[in-house]
């Protein structure tokens, strides 16, 4: 999440968490970022085209290798690999691992969340940091209760807005737009029975009623 935000701050848009997780190596991730930079804007393309031929050739070769690797991963029939075949799972490329996870966990997540599969836009494994937080929040035996009290990872921020200078209609519209624009506001988590990932993050479909965040006007 921090990496994606840093990239957006530097003007690199269009990258998603699934693409970052699909990168096998740092080189793959670098090539992915460079490919986005090449296609982001016309100015960026012109800047990249002024680089030395050797650098351009290396970038092209790196991008070609990544495209070939992605193509091979896309050809893997993940439905033929059972969820308990851990040896086959660990041999899969990252992209195929993500597809396998989604294929086998989508219906289970939908059932656990009491929604339909069509209500879920994407299922991804929770990151290591998210897993630690989820363990602390959902499994009391994971931490020593004598060291902690209350509910961890819950924070509330209250902002005092000047009512005489704020158009409530426009403000509400802005909030609605932001909530729909970023999938983090439509993401929920659930526990899954998977040998590689204990939790799933489910990005809810924008059009689904269950993705709407309730707003209370006081």
- The predicted-structure confidence for 118-152, as pLDDT tens digits, reads as follows 999 999 999 888 888 888 777 766 666 666 666 55
> What value does the mean pLDDT of the chain take?
77
DSSP characters for 122-156? EEEEPPHHHHHHHHHHH-GGGS-TTT--S-TT---
Q: Mean pLDDT over residues 100-107, rounded?
A: 90
Whole-angstrom distance, CA of residue 47 vs CA of residue 44 = 5
Token pair 């030395």: residue: 52
pLDDT in the model for residue 149: 62
95: left (phi over 0), alpha (psi -120 to 50) or beta: alpha
Give how far the C-alpha of residue 131 lies from the chain's centroid of Cα atoms, to the nearest Å: 14
Q: Indicate the pLDDT class of residue 46, thresholds 50, 70 and 90.
A: low
150-183 pLDDT, tens digit each: 655 566 777 777 778 888 888 888 988 888 888 8
Q: Is the pTM of this model over 0.75?
A: no
């Amino acid at each position: 999440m921090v990496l994606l935000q840093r990239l957006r701050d530097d003007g690199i848009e269009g990258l998603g968490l699934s693409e970052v997780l699909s990168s096998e190596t740092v080189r793959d991730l670098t090539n992915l970022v460079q490919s986005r930079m090449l296609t982001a804007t016309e100015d960026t393309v012109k800047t990249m085209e002024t680089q030395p031929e050797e650098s351009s050739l290396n970038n092209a070769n790196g991008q070609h290798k990544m495209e070939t690797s992605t193509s091979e991963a896309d050809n893997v029939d993940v439905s033929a690999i059972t969820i308990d075949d851990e040896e086959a799972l660990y041999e899969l490329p990252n992209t195929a691992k993500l597809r396998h996870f989604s294929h086998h966990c989508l219906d289970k997540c939908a059932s656990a969340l009491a929604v339909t599969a069509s209500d879920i836009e994407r299922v991804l494994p929770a990151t290591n940091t998210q897993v630690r937080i989820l363990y602390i929040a959902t499994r009391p035996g994971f931490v020593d209760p004598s060291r902690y009290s209350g509910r961890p990872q819950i924070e509330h921020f209250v902002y005092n807005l000047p009512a005489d200078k704020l158009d409530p209609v426009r403000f509400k519209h802005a909030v609605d737009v932001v909530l729909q624009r970023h999938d983090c506001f439509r993401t929920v988590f659930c526990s899954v029975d998977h040998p590689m990932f204990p939790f799933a993050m489910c990005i809810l479909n924008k059009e689904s009623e269950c993705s709407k965040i309730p707003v209370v006007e006081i």
